[in-house]
Structure 1
Amino acid sequence: MNRRAFLAGAAAAGAASLSGCAGILSAGSPSSEDGNFDVGMGSSFFKPRELTIRVGETVVWKNTGMRRHTVTAYENAIPESADYFASGGFDSEQAARDAWVDGYGGTVQQNNTYGYTFDVPGTYAYFCVPHEPSGMSGKIIVEE
């Protein structure tokens, strides 16, 4: 077999494979065109990871990936006077964690959304229960 022909074919096949990966990697990006969500949830990330909003605004998370996700506040990393939030409506971080373990409670399914209105200024840290070990966390900064 002609070595140059083989290498050219291998290079073309590799480029085609990588171009398909680019579409997968961008699948978790929020779409400014449709504007129906603020934070996308990919395989094990929130995008953007940090978002700044004004008091009274609602943030909408959308599961743009193919895995189950949650939006779960770190109870000790939200403003003291703020209400706790988590997809599934749980009153505490432990309740959200327990519900996930007991049957995937709080799941935001593929192509579904979860929204929360932030009424207290400050910084809110949150995470995805099943993907927390992979570093799936984010932050909302609420300004006056």
Structure 2
Amino acid sequence: MDRRTFLATAGAAAAVGLAGCGAAGGSLSETAYDVGMVHNAFQPVEFEASVGDTVVWGNSGSRGHSVTAYGNMIPEDAAYFASGGAASQKEAVSNWPDEGNVRPGETYSYTFEVPGEYRYYCIPHEAAGMKGTVVVTE
């Protein structure tokens, strides 16, 4: 069973965990994304993927969020990633919210090509602890 099929099958269990956290103005289903953005949290906080997988973040909350890699907390050979397409963490921060704002009901996706641990955060909610990790295996 591939990852998307598993996620679709496991959707009912995920819906229980997201009860009461509806997408204000959006229409995301629990199977439309791998990592949810709700209030001041990524759900799940840590997500496992394989090299070549595309991870989808979905904003099912009521506020704008970002997916912004910590430039010094991704594998050395990996390309930088951030919603909005910034080439660096500094650029992502200086361009937000004009670029990189994932609005309620929207998604952001990124394909991981290098194994390792990728730490990221939400620009406006970092101080509230909105941080996550994607662990990519071969």
Which bracket does the TM-score occupy, shorter chain normalised? 0.7 to 0.9
Q: How high is the TM-score relative to the length of structure 2?
A: 0.79
Q: Which residue of 1 aligns with 2:8?
A: none
Q: After TM superposition, list the pairs within 5 Å mapping 1:1-144 onto structure 2.
A: 23-24=19-20, 26-27=21-22, 34-100=30-96, 103-144=97-138
Deviation at 1:36, TM superposition (A): 1.4
Partner secondary structure for residue 113 of structure 2: coil
SS in 1 for 2:95: helix
Q: Which residue identity lines up with residue 75 of structure 1 in the other structure?
A: G
Structure 1 residues not aligned, in runs of 5+ = 1-21
What is the CA RMSD across the aligned residues, in angstroms?
1.7
Bigger Rg over Cα:
1
User: Do the aligned partners of residues 27 and 47 (structure 1) sit closer, same or farther apart at CA in structure 2, a change above 3 Å counting?
Assistant: farther
Runs of 4+ in 1 over 2 A off after TM superposition: none
TM-score scaled to structure 1, two decimals?
Answer: 0.76
| Residue-pair matches, total | 116
- Stretches of structure 2 lacking an aligned partner (at least 5 in a row): 1-17, 24-28
Distance 2:65 2:98 in 1: 9
